[in-house]
Amino acid sequence: MKQIMTEDVLSVKVPTSDPIYTILIVDNEVIERMVAKKRLTKLQYRVLEAKNGEEALAMLEQDSVDLILSDWVMPGLDGPGLCEAIKRHERFRMIHFILMTALDRPTQIAEGLSRGADDFLSKTASDHEIVSRIRVGLRARQLKLDVERSNRLLSQKQAELHSELRSASTFVRGLLPRTGEVVPGVRVEWEFLPSSHLGGDFFEVVRWGDDHLGLMVLDMSGHGIGPALRAVSLSLFFKEEHIKQAFPSYDPGEILTRLNHQYPMTDEGDYFTIWVGVWQRSTRLLRFATAGHPGVIVVKNDRSSVVLGGRSWPIGFSDDEVYGTDSITVNPGDKMYLFSDGIFEVMNPQGEIWGRKRLQEALEGVVNQPMQVGLSHIIDQSRTWNAQGRFEDDVAILGIDFQT
């Protein structure tokens, strides 16, 4: 290896604020190593030396190195072979590797670079060029370390965020209605598949007094943390204490009209669709109203079905909108399904939407199955239709079985 760096080069000092880098010199000539080590040490670098490639690899197992300055021709493992070994190793591949040779030929330069070298220096290079290349190499090494550290911190933050999202998702699922019998003769089952850990869909089945059962399904625009938080906060609106005080008649149209006044569309364009129903146990009458929601589906014992809900503005679209209330009698043996549009707005490979009509037919086909089995079958049908085999939007479907 060429005797590198004359005394004039040493007048260019490394700033004291820079980290102390470690350079490994690999050369079978002891004099070349000694001279190079003396010069680089004066430049405030920590310098190690090895007489061949095998010894260099052994030293890397014991010490941290930032840059390797290696001779090409050495007995045993030569410079290019050492470079290949280092670049294959997960721990060592980010070390900046400079090959030096007395043969300044394009074919040899190409070979060295193709075998993984980060830089190539001729032994006829000037001292200034060698020092400059070393400093450039160390800057490149530092950039790699900074990127690696940033990626590590980012991965750590992502893991923390995913953990928090899982906890939040568990909390949100805990707010959803319990499954099983909610009042005598009425059972509830549901499937909830947010497109991320948290979704903008929410549904509720809650007693309103002794004779009424409040039903609600809503779909916030967007999906993720923001819509999920808005949905959870809005769910408090439908708790028994608030509804009994604010809407003693339990009129769904009145409830939606109030919501429309209280929740105008935000400057960011946030809005939501919602369906609200109230079923009276003593009369079996179901009153309902919808705001931009695709409605719910009631499947009768004879497998006929009806969609409950019509065309209307979502909440927040029209300040002066007044929502009306419709009604239907729900008999023993009927099943009612509340759902978000994510269950049917999926595309097949030909770009054809599954659609609410196919969903309705599919629900008619599972009416004689146990509710949870039927819901799982519907999810499978929707996923099978989906070209990607996964849901891009939040999916929620809730089944209510009026057994007696």
- Name all domains of the chain by residue range, CATH numbers in brackets: 7-149 (3.40.50.2300), 176-402 (3.60.40.10)
| DSSP one-letter string for 259-304 | HHHHSPPPTT---EEEEEEEEETTT-EEEEEEEB---EEEE-TTS-
Residue 299's Cβ-count burial label (10 Å; 0-12, 13-18, 19+) is: buried
Tell me the per-residue pLDDT of 331-358, one tens digit each, with 9 for 90 and over.
999 999 999 999 999 999 999 999 999 9
- What is the C-alpha separation between 372 and 20, in angstroms, rounded? 65
Residue type for position 103:
L
* The predicted structure's pLDDT at residue 267: 79
44-53, 139-148, 360-369, 386-395 — which is least confidently predicted? Answer: 386-395
Tokens linked to 87: 């670049």
- Is the CB of residue 14 less than 8 Å from the CB of residue 44? yes
* The predicted structure's pLDDT at residue 103: 67
Tell me the per-residue pLDDT of 114-152, one tens digit each, with 9 for 90 and over.
888 999 888 777 878 888 889 999 999 999 889 989 999
* The predicted structure's pLDDT at residue 177: 92
* The predicted structure's pLDDT at residue 2: 46
* The predicted structure's pLDDT at residue 14: 45
Mean pLDDT score of the chain, rounded to an integer? 88
| SS3 at position 313 | coil
Q: What are phi and psi of 402, to 5 degrees?
A: -85, 90
- Cα four-point dihedral sign 318, 319, 325, 331: positive
Question: Across residues 222-239, what is the average pLDDT?
Answer: 84
- pLDDT over threshold 60, residue 235: yes
- pLDDT over threshold 70, residue 16: no
- pLDDT over threshold 70, residue 4: no
Tell me the per-residue pLDDT of 242-271, one tens digit each, with 9 for 90 and over.
999 999 999 999 999 999 999 998 878 889
- What is the C-alpha separation between 109 and 102, in angstroms, rounded? 11
| SS3 at position 383 | helix
- What is the C-alpha separation between 273 and 342, in angstroms, rounded? 13
Max mean pLDDT among 150-159, 164-173, 281-290, 388-397 falls in 281-290
Residue 219, beta-bridge partner list: 201, 273
Question: Helix axis angle, 53-62 relative to 79-88, nearest 10°?
Answer: 30
* The predicted structure's pLDDT at residue 11: 43
* The predicted structure's pLDDT at residue 173: 82
Longest dimension (CA), the chain: 103
Q: What is the percent of the chain with per-residue pLDDT over 90, rounded to a whole number?
A: 63
- pLDDT over threshold 80, residue 82: yes
Burial 134-172, CB ≥16 within 10 A → b, else e? bbebbeebeeeeeeeeeeeeeeeeeeeeeeebeebbeeb
Nearest CA to 330 among 372, 274, 287, 289? Answer: 287
- What is the C-alpha separation between 58 and 198, in angstroms, rounded? 50
> With DSSP H G I counted as helix, E B as strand and the rest as coil, what are the percentages for the chain, rounded to 5?
40, 25, 35
Q: How confident is the model at residue 104 (pLDDT cuts 50, 70, 90)?
A: low
Question: Across residues 205-213, what is the average pLDDT?
Answer: 95
| SS3 at position 195 | coil
* The predicted structure's pLDDT at residue 175: 86
* The predicted structure's pLDDT at residue 41: 81
